[in-house]
Chains A and B, each alone.
Chain A
Amino acid sequence: MRKWYDEEDGLKRKFMETFSGIHASEELKAYTLSQMHGGAESKTLKQENGLMSLRKRLCFLLPAVTLLSVVLIMGLWVRQSGTPYITDMEQDEFYEEVLLKNGKIRFVANRVAISITPNLGGITIGETPDENVHEVMEEKETDSGGKLVCRRGASIVLPDLGEKDWSYIEEQEIYVTVLNAEEIRYQAVFEKDGQVYELIGTNVTQREFIDYLYQVIK
């Protein structure tokens, strides 16, 4: 069956039907004419209504984008210098690049938050010589040539701590400190099942120490 568009007359008729319904509105004509008489400063309706051309839009957008970028960079910088450093312990990507800043390092990973508070004073296990008796659970050398020791004792004496000084691995509360002495010494103390555990990492890297801590607690 032949369709209207197969015949010249059909096409012509359809064009007539379609386009006879399309007109420039009187408002558009009047506005255009008024602008034409306005000369070089004429604006289209869109411009008049504040809708900008792409070029103009870019002129407005560029400073905004620049400003946002600066804010973002500043935000990242502030975050790096003071706020928790988010990482994922199980994915092996963290700590080495984090520097001691303002006396504290804080790692927050999947349910793991490690605050290392340097120079707050040592942690002692037990107050009296009797209580100070401890059992060495494990002692090993690390790849970097440092030494890791895990000891178990009966009680713990800690410096005066605020909530922010505590670290957590899941529900386990831990106190971690670093002594910036000639030999860098990390210490972590935690209480579990009525026992106090102390981990000491001497001349180890942060990563080796926290990996070990994580492994012991888990």
Chain B
Amino acid sequence: MGQSKGRYQVDLEEAVRQYADMIYRIAMTITGNRQDADDVFQETFLRLVKSRNKIQSEEHLKAWLIKVAGNCAKTVVMNPWNKKTQGYNKEMGTPMIFVDGQQSRLLMELHALPQKYSVVLYLFYYEGYSVKEVARLLGKNENSIKTLLKRGRNLLRKSLEEGGDSNA
């Protein structure tokens, strides 16, 4: 990624190298499975190709990728086919999500949360962004992020508690 003639230019390879895992994790958090996460990942970066001229800075790129990945994942989750199969999964119990061959309870519960909470929790706890940084990345004010964090945490604890999980 670099700047030439005073204008920011996206280096596609560098963007993929730098943000691939973050985008993939966000996609996993929202979609809850690798197949859909793969789709979201590709769709996000393919959209970047078309929109790269609109990106103004590194920070903008990161925020743009997070936003687009979230939207793509939401589209996948809201897809009528997925909704149907999720309804089926709900009847069958919480869907199982595996990470490195092990069932991940945290990911399952994050996936079950509304997207607005799960992405904020992910950025805050895993990526280590401060409330201020998360607010900037998501284009929200800090108070909203604080509220989302608080509610998201409570919902996550509640669902983990209900699931009887102590160390998953």
Contact = CB atoms under 8 A, between A and B. Distances in A.
Contacts of B16: 29, 32-33, 36
B39 A42 contact: no
Interface stretch (B23-31, B54-62, B88-96): B23-31
Interface in B30-59: 35, 38-39, 41-43, 45-46, 48-50
Nearest to A23: B21
Interface in A4-33: 4-6, 11-12, 14-16, 18-19, 21-24, 28-29, 31-33
Contact of A24 (B20, B104, B165): B20
Contacts, number: 94
B100 A21 contact: yes
A36 B80 contact: no
B157 A6 contact: yes
26 contacts: A3-B160, A4-B167, A5-B160, A5-B165, A6-B157, A12-B125, A14-B106, A15-B122, A15-B126, A18-B99, A18-B104, A18-B107, A18-B126, A19-B25, A19-B122, A22-B99, A28-B38, A31-B42, A32-B16, A32-B42, A36-B16, A36-B45, A44-B43, A45-B42, A46-B38, A46-B42
Given A32-B45, A33-B16, 18 more contacts: A4-B166, A12-B125, A15-B122, A16-B125, A18-B107, A21-B100, A22-B25, A22-B99, A23-B24, A24-B23, A32-B46, A36-B12, A36-B16, A44-B46, A45-B39, A46-B38, A46-B42, A54-B80
Interface of B: 12-13, 16-17, 20-21, 23-25, 28, 35, 38-39, 41-43, 45-46, 48-50, 79-81, 99-100, 104, 106-107, 121-122, 125-126, 153, 156-157, 160-161, 165-167
